[in-house]
Amino acid sequence: MIKDLAAREDGSVSVSGWVEKVRDQRYVQFVVLRDETGAVQLVNGGVLREADPENPRSDILLERTTTISELSHGSFVTVSGELQHNERVKLGGVEIQIEQLEVVSRALPDTPIAKDSGSEHRLDWRFLDLRRPEQNLVFRVQTTFLNALRQVWVERDFIEVQTPKLMASASESRAELFEVDYFDGQAYLAQSPQFFKQMAQAAGFGGIFEVGPAFRADPSFTSRHATEFTSIDSELSWIDSHVDVMELHEELIVAGLTAVKEKHGEAIQKLFGVEVNVPSRPFPRIPLAEAKEIVKAEGYEVPRADADMDPEGERRIAAHVQQKYGSDFVFLTDYDASIRPFYHMRHDDDAQLTRSYDLIYNGTEISTGAQREHRIDVLEAQAREKGMDPKELNFYLDFFRYGMPPHGGFGMGLNRVLMLMLGQSSIRETTFLFRGPNRLTP
Ligand code: AMO
């Protein structure tokens, strides 16, 4: 790998990679070669532009010179030569004197995207866009983040599940639901693993987690919505309230960010110009109604008093929390029952408020969590209150009819977390292959 070259001693080496740049000078040729780990400068000192009968290596040198001068950007080549350390070489302090260069796969001469191409055009050519070191880093960070979360779950003895993405009913609301033909009938793409992670509680699994796709037929073109995204879900039994869920959530976030900072902090700073901050626990917790009062006192009124925070409200409360507590994270808690799903448990002393929360990171919602209602009679009543027909939900309600422990959990959008962690302007940059209302390819 190219990143290992600097640590090697001078001598014969062989490397492969994509041609990033060619400088074809009269007496010397330079090629910058990149693989997924870094870049290195190759040098052809034996440039020969026309046959030289006096030189016994004339044919070889002439062919090599021609090959290099015709190299197109993005071609994949294998090179062998002499590695030399040279402090004056800015790129890693080493260069390779080319002895042999083989073009393994030639790229068409005009690369369809450039550094400054617009987002949609880059998405059309995502495989080329992903060759950029920044993009490569996004998915290395994702791997490290998820791995750290997984370690926490495994240490806590949680079970990993894979829930079905084809369902017979909606899993969140009837809005934003993709319907697909299913033999002679209809199926729906899962909007979240909500019902099944609760089923795992009825099954006696206790702590569980899933990292998998979620689908939302959301027609919006915002920077934080996709029609398919990766949802990080966890659920656990025997909780006293949503506070237990928040504590698990904090532990996971701190573990994920600690691992990312340790492994990629420097690269993130260099390529994205942002610092990864590991938050201290507990994260600030503010009831939603109080958060609305705070932003109102600071001059911003959330458009609808009976609704969720709007994006501007989220930004403002995050700025307030940042200033007051120095935290990138804030839990907004105790959402009004009218804006929460029927399965959220309500407070004993105030049936209008749910035992739920949203987690805001750098000014944007990344997650929703709650204690769930496990008492079947209350759950049925709450479903009816929301205009739902309990008969349609029977398969779900059955989970509660044979002994269901108190439980709760959360769902968190992976692509949003990465966008906010890396200071990106859209989840298009932090999704391997983005899906939106007008994008089903590549
Ligand atoms: P909710 O609908 O709030 O909750 O979704 C949880 C998190 O998923 C992410 N998310 C999205 N990301 C990209 N594009 C979208 N269209 C999109 N929709 C949602 C967000 C959001 O905070 N079942 C509950 C969770 C739970 O209570 O366990 C749920 O799905 O980051």
- ipTM for this model: 0.99
Task: Answer yes or no: is 368 a known binding residue.
Answer: yes
| pTM passes above 0.90 | yes
Confidence of residue 322 (pLDDT cuts 50, 70, 90): very high
Ligand 1: centre distance to CA 234 (Å): 13
Q: Quick one: pLDDT at residue 48?
A: 95
* Distance in angstroms (rounded) separating the CA atoms of residues 215 and 209: 18
Ligand 1: centre distance to CA 52 (Å): 69
Confidence of residue 78 (pLDDT cuts 50, 70, 90): very high
Record the tokens describing residue 59, joined without a space: 């044919």
Q: Quick one: pLDDT at residue 172?
A: 81
For 70-129, give the DSSP string. TPPTT-EEEEEEEEEE-TT-TTTTEEEEEEEEEEEEPPPSS-S--TT--HHHHHHTHHHH
Does the pLDDT of residue 153 top 90, yes or no?
Answer: yes
* Distance in angstroms (rounded) separating the CA atoms of residues 315 and 327: 13
Q: Which atom of ligand 1 is nearest to the CA of 370?
A: 27
Between the two ends of the chain, the Cα-to-Cα distance in Å is 28
Q: Which atom of ligand 1 is nearest to the CA of 235?
A: 28
What average pLDDT does the segment 23-31 reach? 96
Ligand 1: centre distance to CA 167 (Å): 18
* Distance in angstroms (rounded) separating the CA atoms of residues 347 and 356: 10
Task: Answer yes or no: is 33 a known binding residue.
Answer: no
CB 163 within 8 A of CB 215: no
* Distance in angstroms (rounded) separating the CA atoms of residues 142 and 144: 5
- Averaged confidence pLDDT in the chain: 96
Confidence of residue 61 (pLDDT cuts 50, 70, 90): very high
pLDDT tens, residue by residue, 205-216: 999 999 999 999
Ligand 1: centre distance to CA 191 (Å): 8
Confidence of residue 115 (pLDDT cuts 50, 70, 90): confident
Q: Which fold is adopted by the domain 123-430? A: BirA Bifunctional Protein; domain 2 (3.30.930)
Which residues contact residue 185 at a Cβ distance below 8 angstroms, ignoring those fewer than 6 apart? none
Residue nearest atom 22 in ligand 1 by C-alpha distance: 367
Ligand 1: centre distance to CA 418 (Å): 14
What average pLDDT does the segment 361-377 reach? 98
Q: Quick one: pLDDT at residue 306?
A: 75
Confidence of residue 147 (pLDDT cuts 50, 70, 90): very high
List the domain boundaries for the chain.
2-105, 123-430
Ligand 1: centre distance to CA 412 (Å): 6
Q: Which atom of ligand 1 is nearest to the CA of 427?
A: 13
Q: Quick one: pLDDT at residue 51?
A: 93
Torsion of CA 248, 291, 424, 121, to 10 degrees: 110
Confidence of residue 82 (pLDDT cuts 50, 70, 90): very high
Compare 166 and 304 and report the one with higher pLDDT: 166
Residue nearest atom 9 in ligand 1 by C-alpha distance: 413
Q: Quick one: pLDDT at residue 174?
A: 79
Q: What percent of the chain has pLDDT over 70?
A: 100
Q: Which atom of ligand 1 is nearest to the CA of 365?
A: 22
CB 407 within 8 A of CB 195: no
Local structure of 194: helix, strand or coil: helix
Q: Which atom of ligand 1 is nearest to the CA of 176?
A: 16
User: What is the CB-side half-sphere exposure of residue 347 using CA atoms within 13 A?
Assistant: 14
CB 173 within 8 A of CB 155: no
Confidence of residue 64 (pLDDT cuts 50, 70, 90): very high
Compare 390 and 65 and report the one with higher pLDDT: 65
Record the tokens describing residue 115, joined without a space: 């550094």
Of the options 1.25.40.10, 2.40.50.140, 3.90.1170.50, 1.10.1040.50, the CATH number for the domain spanning 2-105: 2.40.50.140
Task: Answer yes or no: is 365 a known binding residue.
Answer: yes
What average pLDDT does the segment 399-407 reach? 98
Residue nearest atom 10 in ligand 1 by C-alpha distance: 413
Ligand 1: list residues with CB < 6 Å.
172, 192, 194, 216, 218, 225-226, 229, 231, 365-370, 409-413, 415-416
* Distance in angstroms (rounded) separating the CA atoms of residues 304 and 385: 21
Mutate to test the pocket of ligand 1, among 192, 195, 330, 434 (most ligand atoms within 8 A of CB): 192
* Distance in angstroms (rounded) separating the CA atoms of residues 294 and 208: 36
pLDDT tens, residue by residue, 261-314: 999 999 999 999 999 999 999 999 999 999 999 999 999 998 876 788 999 999
Q: Quick one: pLDDT at residue 170?
A: 86
Domains 2-105 and 123-430 share a fold: no
What average pLDDT does the segment 72-101 reach? 96
* Distance in angstroms (rounded) separating the CA atoms of residues 288 and 210: 28
Amino acid at 219: P
According to DSSP, the β-strands at 208-215 and 185-189 are unpaired
